[in-house]
Structure 1
Amino acid sequence: MAAAPLIASDIGIGSVEIDASDVVRLVLQFLKEHGLSSSAAELERESGVLVNAVEAKGRLVGDVRSGRWDAVLPALASVELPAEAAAAVHEHACYELCDAGEGDVARELLRHKTLQKLRGAEPERFLRLERAVGRAAATGGYGGEAPWPRGETRESRRAAVADDVAGAVGAVAPGRLVSLLGMALRWQAHCGDLRGSGGRRVDVFRGDAGDPLSRKSEEERPPKRAAGAVRLGAGSKPLCCAFAPDGSALITGSSDGFVELWDPASCRLRTDLPYQRDDELLMHDAPVLALAPSLDGTALASGDRDGCLKVWRLATGQCARKFPKAQQQAASAGAEESAVAWSRDGSQLLTASSDGAVRSHGLKSGRTLQQFRGHGGSVSAVAYLRSSGESSDAVVSGSADGTVRVWDPRSAETVSTFSPPKALAKLERRAVADKERAVVAVLQQPGSESKFFVVDKSPTAVLADLRTGVAVAAFSSRDEPAKPPSEAAHALRKPGCDFVAAALSRPRGDYLYCLGEDKVLYCFHVQSAALDRCCPIDDAKDVVGLAVHPHRNVVASFGDGDKLLLWKS
């Protein structure tokens, strides 16, 4: 390939360039791995490009040192070695074939293009080799003075040739084209451009997943009508739920200790997952109170009432790590509160505890790494405060004592303490702050490194900078909605009711959804801090939690019944 063109690709705010010959090498490797040797040979001939790497470099070098030329020479057929290294390999192989009485094989090797190039570059060297091959073919052996320099042995020459090969040959993992396609599909699923396959066929050429949910993320809008229900069955009720990061599953944790994955479109159990199809469900010995999928969607952390934390591989259903006593009894009697959060690099987990402590756990070590103590009540919300300007993310926790704390992840010391009522009083310029209430949610604002939505069991949520302790906006159930509520919402709504749960629309966080004790979902427009609309969620006696789809305008809610309700815009 003459002067291979460069292919430019935008990455973030910059771009990278890819050599077109590298793309050809990916295709060549794929063709050879799938037995399409004729197609690969034609592509090599037409493009002039070789793979120029081997899958097992160590094995190749070992074969050279052991003189296994029947394995070495085919492996080097797709590698473009420097001229001297290539000549040394083929020359030494030829001499060893002569010494082994394989004169006819050596004569065939003498016709190889590498040794023919040696004939033109170093005629005397080639002539010595040709004479040795002739004697071997005639007598069945080498029958002459050793061809390598005086003082060297066969083994030392092999070692020298092996060093030349090791320095010139690159290593490449098998299946690179398929691996890159897999990474691209996972990234598309993570960004919402492609729904997780769930056993479906994906057309990678046209970019079509063959599924109505494989579109780009929708414009964020509040939900306003029912979209289905997930039923757990009699005697079981949902205690927590979360959507997979790619939106392919709604994950539930139940009172009978089961963790299950559901298709959010059909509201049916994901039986395309082998472990669910075979009734080998993810299970705890106690009610499951907290769920947290990893950021890449490959793993799931689940915590139960007995303080046991498990990490599951979602593709296989295997328990990859278990912390039997990650926290004290996770919830006090009648107060089902617990929380789990992943670190940005996926190496650690945070857990909330009823003894007022937050604990971090290392996945590799399987041990508790740090304890953060200072809250005067059970901890109900934990998160990592993600900051690009610092080497590690700070820890954030919300508690039943009515405060939010920011912790140093290394020293476990409190960096700052935030009181929503006091911050709200300053924002509204009131002299007296309301009584502190239990914090139910701490949500980082997308695109901000320090601003969080803090929702407590009061009628007002606040958006605050947790590093400065200053509230910048308030969202109240007392506000009148911009869009007139439906008759059902009007009948249920009690202005000034307390919030019991909250979530942000995704992925941009244009809306803050606060669930009221009156079974109404209050949908606030974040930029204006105005109440946009009220949506009735009236299927259960008490509604206690919700989750938001990462790329669709779909909200899941659950209460004291045996089902979760899905709502869409």
Structure 2
Amino acid sequence: MSSASSSDADNTADIPSADIIRLILAHLTESGLHATCATLREETSLGMAGIFPTSKGRLIACAEEGRWGEVLEIIECLDVERYRKNYIDDYCKSKDGAKETVMVTPLEKALALAHEMTVLELADHGEYELAYAALRMCSEMLDKSLPSSNEHDMDDDQDAKDDDGPSGSLGIITSRTGDIERRITALTSMRSTPTNGGGAAFDLPLNYYGPNNQTQQKRRSQISKLLKQHVPQLPLQRLSSLLQQSIKWQCHTGVYPTVQKLFQDEDNLIDENDGGMDNEGKKKKKRKKQATEQKFDLVLGNVDISAGGSKKKHKSKDGEGIPSRPTQTICLGKKSYIESALFLPDGKGLITGSSDGFIEIWGEPITNDSATGLGSMIQTEIHFEKLRTSDLVYQKNDDLMMHDAPVIAMDVSHDGTLLGSTSADGTVCVWKIMDGKLLRKLERAHGGSGGGDKGAAVSCIQFSPDGSKILTGGHDYTCREFGLLASRMLKEFRGHKSYVNCCGYVTITNAVDGKSTSTLAVVTGSADGKVIVWDAKVSEPMREIAPPVPLSSTAALHESQSIVSSKSIHTVLHLHAPPQTMIVVPRSDRAYLMTYTGTILRVFTRDDVQGTEFLAASVSPSNQWLFVAADDGKCVVFDVSSGSVEKIIRSFAEDCSTRSEKASEITGVLHHPHRGMIGGYSNDKGQKRGILTLWK
């Protein structure tokens, strides 16, 4: 009994609860939940065991370039006490069980040098009061971690120890804080004394940045090297990896016998399928499929045995099954074509803008539902082929919203009360959806001298998150922001060399370990083949992104100054999963999943044919599926997470147009906000009439 119990004790590892919290902190940071991470750090008073590789690379670059504010922001989250305890434990073990001693760890030394360099460079830039204030805040750390002079503080092979002699020309040193104060005092005195040479503003006292009169850049490089060497680096996805390894081990040891049996059944089915009769093989393949669809619940610790039995449940995940057949068709009058369309946020209506200037809202409830709320909106069947007149009286009275030119683009405010529309003559209108009243009208929003001169066509529009402003892009190569209260232009984003086809507001999160800062940005896509990310406050470009041109595109190899050198970008879709990403769709045979910094994460290309061009695109509400209409008349459905082609709807263009001789090119694709339903339409003038077909 005693030997068995001692054996169990030897095989048991005590995991400190603080380390579990640190794993959660790292997982929150990696998942982009920086505010939650900061709150947890504040409540537990625990720091992170290290920083991620991207943050470490940024830390080293900032130290090399002297951006010490960012350096201190990155290292602020580190748990120095944990590092110190582990370092001393390892030191005592290496000395054959020596007692704990007072020492300065390499990490403490590197962090102290970074703080010291911050103070010295502040003083060098003339910020004396700020330098003294920063010195007072970190004086205890500097005196504890660094010797009284800087003669040997960069030597990794020599232990830190105090010097009793003078440091250069700065006097007798009693502490590191006193040493820094004397250097700043000498700097202040030197620069306040006029000299005949006129170079006092750039002179430095002897050994100001380090022994042997080191230069500023050399000192930066040395500190950067120390930070690179001693700041711990966190592995990616550590928490999820540990959970996966734990489940595998518990299955192996029989702690979860049901899960173990599940895995064994899968292996047996695979082995049995290697031989046998055809009929028996079909049965075994079916059994294998059901077994692999069974799910293990990590939170509850059990297996959902019925998961493999319901094919319908698996297919309709989150209500976003892939549409396969046309169900409803909206038809306009003869020689009238749909130029733009979108669903209402609640999914109970669909708005179309036509070539003759009419704006119509479709979607009459099939059954009267007395329930209210979002749940009833989703479940109520809508007849999209009929105009919505039950609650929109103005449509019943034929008092429609209307422009004098084709309605090119539309957008609905986040609360679903306002509709913004743009037309080919440069007019922008804002309507109240419930009564159809015109609230604002901006004529020649993108240029025009008045009179008979029409403004440039406005090709895209979006409401700001709070609904107080609208963002528009036009054929004058600009994007403009208008205030609805003042009815005037507030900002102009100028930098594209061709038509602006899409624009939108996004919130970009800049993550620095445990902290995050959010910036409101504007993203525009243009026919010049570029996506520009703008600072929404100052209208200045933050980044210009040009998706790579496929090698099969021969137009731009000789005409670098022409807009044909890059494929026109007609769609930019902003995603919430993965966070801080967008899908850029140019008129080429591929689309790109990118970050707002321009990094390409995934390329979407067809595997059935090459050389086709993507004409329009939309994404499902969960960001699981990407629907792309191609110029060969097919709609390609991509899995966003893997980039693979999940399905191809072959008769998409044929069923979304009324042209007899050949299918028209698709102009737009839209997705229902709650259901697995998509729509497609074309503005091809060769059609008998414009239609919009809904697929389910």
**Counterpart position of 1:445:** 575
The alignment-based identity, stated in percent, is 35
Instruction: Quote the Cα distance in structure 1 between the aligned partners of 2:647 and 2:402.
Output: 38
**Counterpart position of 1:474:** 603
TM-score scaled to structure 1, two decimals?
A: 0.55
Is it true that 1:511 corresponds to 2:638 in the alignment? Answer: no
The residue type equivalent to 1:226 in the other structure is P
Cα drift, residue 475 of structure 1: 0.5
Match of 2:337 among 237, 244, 256: 237
Cα drift, residue 496 of structure 1: 2.8
What pairs up with 1:525-536 in 2 under 5 angstroms? 525-535=639-649, 536=651
The residue type equivalent to 2:408 in the other structure is L
Instruction: Quote the Cα distance in structure 1 between the aligned partners of 2:565 and 2:539.
Output: 27
Cα drift, residue 446 of structure 1: 1.9
Which structure 2 segments of 5+ residues have no match? 1-34, 37-315, 364-381, 449-453, 510-515, 552-556, 658-663
Is it true that 1:523 corresponds to 2:627 in the alignment? Answer: no
Instruction: Quote the Cα distance in structure 2 between the aligned partners of 1:380 and 1:366.
Output: 23
Cα drift, residue 528 of structure 1: 1.1
Detail structure 1 runs of 4+ shifted over 6 Å in the superposition.
431-434
Which structure 1 segments of 5+ residues have no match? 1-11, 14-215, 426-430, 481-493
Deviations 1:370-399 (A, max 9, x none): 000110111001011224655652000000
**Counterpart position of 2:387:** 269
Assess, with a 3 A threshold, how the Cα gap between structure 1 residues 435 and 221 changes in structure 2: closer, same or farther.
farther
Deviations 1:399-431 (A, max 9, x none): 000000000112211110111116x89xxxxx9
- Asked whether the 8 Å contact 1:386–1:449 carries over to 2, the reply is no
**Counterpart position of 1:550:** 673
**Counterpart position of 1:283:** 402
- Asked whether the 8 Å contact 1:421–1:435 carries over to 2, the reply is no
The residue type equivalent to 2:362 in the other structure is W
The residue type equivalent to 1:281 in the other structure is L
Instruction: Quote the Cα distance in structure 2 between the aligned partners of 1:224 and 1:496.
Output: 24
**Counterpart position of 1:461:** 591
Instruction: Classify the secondary structure of the residue corresponding to 1:421.
Output: coil
**Counterpart position of 2:521:** 394
**Counterpart position of 2:324:** 224
Instruction: Quote the Cα distance in structure 2 between the aligned partners of 1:435 and 1:220.
Output: 38
- Asked whether the 8 Å contact 2:477–2:499 carries over to 1, the reply is yes
Deviations 1:276-302 (A, max 9, x none): 001110001111000101111111100
Structure whose residues are more often strand by fraction: 1
Deviations 1:456-476 (A, max 9, x none): 000000000122x11000101
Instruction: Quote the Cα distance in structure 2 between the aligned partners of 1:398 and 1:532.
Output: 27
What pairs up with 1:413-428 in 2 under 5 angstroms? 413-421=540-548
Instruction: Quote the Cα distance in structure 1 between the aligned partners of 2:503 and 2:447.
Output: 15
Q: For the aligned residues, what is the CA RMSD?
A: 2.7
Instruction: Quote the Cα distance in structure 2 between the aligned partners of 1:531 and 1:296.
Output: 34
The residue type equivalent to 2:420 in the other structure is A
Assess, with a 3 A threshold, how the Cα gap between structure 1 residues 217 and 287 changes in structure 2: closer, same or farther.
farther
- Asked whether the 8 Å contact 2:577–2:623 carries over to 1, the reply is no
Assess, with a 3 A threshold, how the Cα gap between structure 1 residues 418 and 243 changes in structure 2: closer, same or farther.
same
Instruction: Quote the Cα distance in structure 1 between the aligned partners of 2:579 and 2:441.
Output: 31
TM-score scaled to structure 2, two decimals?
A: 0.45
Work out the number of aligned pairs and report it.
330
The residue type equivalent to 1:421 in the other structure is P
- Asked whether the 8 Å contact 2:457–2:474 carries over to 1, the reply is no
**Counterpart position of 1:378:** 499
Cα drift, residue 530 of structure 1: 0.4
Match of 1:356 among 477, 486, 504: 477
Instruction: Quote the Cα distance in structure 1 between the aligned partners of 2:586 and 2:481.
Output: 24
- Asked whether the 8 Å contact 1:476–1:496 carries over to 2, the reply is no
Instruction: Classify the secondary structure of the residue corresponding to 1:275.
Output: helix
Deviations 1:55-94 (A, max 9, x none): xxxxxxxxxxxxxxxxxxxxxxxxxxxxxxxxxxxxxxxx
What pairs up with 1:2-41 in 2 under 5 angstroms? none
Cα drift, residue 320 of structure 1: 1.3
Cα drift, residue 363 of structure 1: 1.0
What pairs up with 1:38-437 in 2 under 5 angstroms? 218-263=318-363, 265-272=383-390, 273-328=392-447, 338-387=459-508, 390=517, 392-421=519-548, 435-437=565-567
Deviations 1:339-370 (A, max 9, x none): 11111111111111111100001111111100
- Asked whether the 8 Å contact 2:349–2:384 carries over to 1, the reply is no
Instruction: Quote the Cα distance in structure 2 between the aligned partners of 1:372 and 1:358.
Output: 5
Instruction: Classify the secondary structure of the residue corresponding to 2:425.
Output: coil
The residue type equivalent to 1:542 in the other structure is E
Instruction: Quote the Cα distance in structure 1 between the aligned partners of 2:633 and 2:383.
Output: 24
Cα drift, residue 259 of structure 1: 0.5
Instruction: Quote the Cα distance in structure 2 between the aligned partners of 1:512 and 1:348.
Output: 29
Deviations 1:309-349 (A, max 9, x none): 111111111111111122247xxx9x987111111111111
Instruction: Classify the secondary structure of the residue corresponding to 1:441.
Output: strand
- Asked whether the 8 Å contact 1:398–1:405 carries over to 2, the reply is yes
Match of 2:617 among 492, 495, 502: 502
Instruction: Quote the Cα distance in structure 1 between the aligned partners of 2:517 and 2:331.
Output: 44
- Asked whether the 8 Å contact 1:398–1:441 carries over to 2, the reply is yes
Deviations 1:164-184 (A, max 9, x none): xxxxxxxxxxxxxxxxxxxxx
Deviations 1:469-521 (A, max 9, x none): 110001013x24xxxxxxxxxxxxx5430001111012x11101111011111
